Amino acid sequence: MKVYAINGSPRKKWNTATLLEYALAGAATQGAETELIHLYDLTYKGCTSCFSCKLKGGKSYGRCAMNDGLTPVLEKLAQADALILGSPIYFGTVAGEMRSFMERLLFQYLAYTKPPSTLFTRKIATAFMYTMNVSEEVMKEFQYPVHLGMNENYLVPRPA
């Protein structure tokens, strides 16, 4: 079993990374191969909406055509058995690097069907770990559950 954790924090040793390391240690005790990937170590951009991943019969159909520091990570994650996404919450949502990563990870598999479906053929156990410096009251007041729930909604499996 391969378990990857994605650290969307600019800090490699603070709260988000620490929680991800603990989660990976737990997976390792169950025999999983684990790896922590720090997004801020990579040079990449978010989706540029080139639509190469959408061209049926094209060489990039179902996978991101961009070639940068995120390319090998996306290839690796396509083989994952479990994925843990960790990010601090800035202004009510994930950090910018995590958002750009999620665009690239998810858009390549999105099929424009009604209802929308996925080109990804497997299910991967996925978890989010969020760190933030706000109380539960403030979370509710500023609708954090709605904003964070959108991230979770995008990872719900939908048949092709």
Q: Give tens-digit pLDDT for 87-118.
A: 999 888 899 999 999 999 999 998 888 887 88
Q: What pLDDT does 159 receive? A: 55
Say what the pLDDT of residue 92 is: 82
Inter-helix orientation angle 144-154/96-107, to 10°: 30
User: What is the mean pLDDT of the segment spanning 71-96?
Assistant: 94
* 37 pLDDT higher than 70: yes
Phi, psi angle pair for 53, to nearest 5°: -75, -10
User: Are 100 and 14 contacting, i.e. CB atoms less than 8 angstroms apart?
Assistant: no
Which fold does the domain 2-46+67-106+123-154 belong to in CATH?
A: Rossmann fold (3.40.50)
Residue count of the chain: 160
pLDDT digits (tens, 9 = 90+) for 138-158: 889 988 888 888 877 777 765
Q: Is the pTM of this model over 0.85?
A: yes
Delimit the domains of the chain by residue range. 2-46+67-106+123-154
